[in-house]
Amino acid sequence: MGDIIAFDLGASSGRALLGRLVDGKIEITELHRFSNDPVQVGERLHWDILRLYHEIKQGLLIAKNQGIDVQSIGIDSWAVDFGFIGKNGELVGNPYHYRDRHTEDAMEQLFAQIPASVIFGKTGIQFLQFNTIFQLFALKQANSPWLQEGNRFLMIPDLLRYFLTGDMHNEFSNATTTQLFNPIKGDWDEDLLKLLDFPKSWFGDVLQPGSKAGMLQASVCEELGMKSIPVYAVAEHDTGSAVAAVPATDCSFAYLSCGTWSLMGTEVQKPAINDLAQKLNFTNEGGVEGTYRLLKNIMGLWILQECRREWERAGKSYAFPELVQMAGVAKPFGAFIDPDDSMFLAPGDMPARITQYCLQTGQQAPESVGEIVRCILESLAMKYRFVFEMTERLSTQKFNGLHMVGGGIQNTLLCQWSANAIGKPVWAGPSEGSAIGNLAVQWIAQGVFKDIWEARQVIRDSFPLATYEPEEQELWAEAYGQFTKLTGIAE
């Protein structure tokens, strides 16, 4: 069976994973791992897109030098961010990072022109200040030269594919996250584009996951000394790939893709675009084989990552297992935060912000490192219960438990506390969900698997699951009441 590569780009790092099938099971090998560091230039925060492209080529070069006969590749990444290609075929400007502050007032300004209900009714996408629609609106308000010189709009994986192949396409799962795509019509919403004065010509044809999106172009093959190979459009939003890798056996399942961001929801055949979905601020993002991911974003382990960076700046370096160990022995339920409060979105001094939040909500702020970490992890677990129950309500389903995938499942304390919070089992695995889902879609495209359900069964057979049964349910139920009251998130 031919070897394939998944390039999986996260908000802090990227990796090239080699996938092969051996005796009916998936084997993965990490060929290359690299950091993905945002770059601050003046007031703007950017992605280093050309460095990411360089690292992708390094991954291909490593495979070639190891004598690996690569049959195809696919790329997945975070959503919403993008670049423009000019009429000369070159990149216009360096893509902004979604945490850049240029969209801070964009939502309110845009809603003054187009009601939120109109936008949600056309797209079914939850409102987050960094969504593509608000980024483009902010650029237009600032008279950005990008919009004057740009000829084609490409999201991050689209852009990297273009560099590799010379072909420009937009991919379905990522296109839906822009809040400019109409899932009922199955295309960019022309009425919305007209209202925003965004030329339809910016937006190209939308490929479904599993479509062939080009071949490595001659200049890349010459540079790397390798043959041309197919590049597939996978589920290029990394959450779409992660959900493809959920090893569920029942079509009714709940998932949590856990990493820098936490994304919780379920897979549905049709988008849920209604008043309740808008009220709960859920989103309908494209998935594999025409499905939709009815889900909600949760801030995730970003807060812990930023705390760790702040402690490092102060000369105190902690490994993540060390932080988890300290949290495990700290006093339980000492304080709670709402992880999705806007004060935790931008980079900065998270320990100080946690203190500020606790004081503003009448709580005693955690002081020690262990207390702070415990506050973050317990609050995440509580928020998971809140969103889990909203997912059941909106989808009119009852779930037997929760599938957790992604790098965050290495935090066994968070997995156990999530089970405690929801009062149901948590099944954790695989940890490399996005990359494995990327590989699975490539194999489906090549006819190796007949569909996503066969792929999920092979994934289940290939990667063992860790099961966490709920414990101390009465204590956690009582603490959940305190969490909802203190954070004010209860309806």
Question: Which pair of structure tokens corresponds to residue 297?
Answer: 């974003």
Question: Which pair of structure tokens corresponds to residue 122?
Answer: 């056309």
3-state SS of the chain: helix, strand, coil percent to 5? 45, 20, 35
Length of the chain as a residue count? 491
Question: Which pair of structure tokens corresponds to residue 460?
Answer: 């289940």
For residues 197 and 336, give the distance between their C-alpha atoms in angstroms, rounded to a whole number: 43
By C-alpha distance, which of 110, 146, 140, 112 is closest to 128? 110
Question: Which pair of structure tokens corresponds to residue 157?
Answer: 């994986």
Report which residue type is found at 91: L
Cβ atoms of 206 and 172 closer than 8 Å: yes
Cβ atoms of 432 and 3 closer than 8 Å: no
Residue 222 to residues 325, 431, 466, Cα–Cα distance (Å): 50, 35, 45
For residues 440 and 430, give the distance between their C-alpha atoms in angstroms, rounded to a whole number: 13
For residues 44 and 211, give the distance between their C-alpha atoms in angstroms, rounded to a whole number: 35
Cβ atoms of 427 and 402 closer than 8 Å: yes
Burial class (CB in 10 A: 0-12, 13-18, 19+), 22: exposed
Residue 227 to residues 63, 249, 446, Cα–Cα distance (Å): 12, 39, 18
Question: Which pair of structure tokens corresponds to residue 346?
Answer: 């931008």
Cβ atoms of 64 and 33 closer than 8 Å: no
By C-alpha distance, which of 189, 29, 162, 12 is closest to 90? 162
Residue 276 to residues 121, 125, 295, 395, Cα–Cα distance (Å): 12, 13, 13, 10
Question: Which pair of structure tokens corresponds to residue 291?
Answer: 């499905």
Cβ atoms of 174 and 236 closer than 8 Å: yes
By C-alpha distance, which of 272, 282, 123, 292 is closest to 191? 123
Question: Which pair of structure tokens corresponds to residue 217?
Answer: 């172009």
**Which are the catalytic amino acids?**
238
Write phi, then psi, for 46 (nearest 5 degrees).
Answer: -120, 160
5: which strand partners? 18, 73
For residues 198 and 136, give the distance between their C-alpha atoms in angstroms, rounded to a whole number: 9
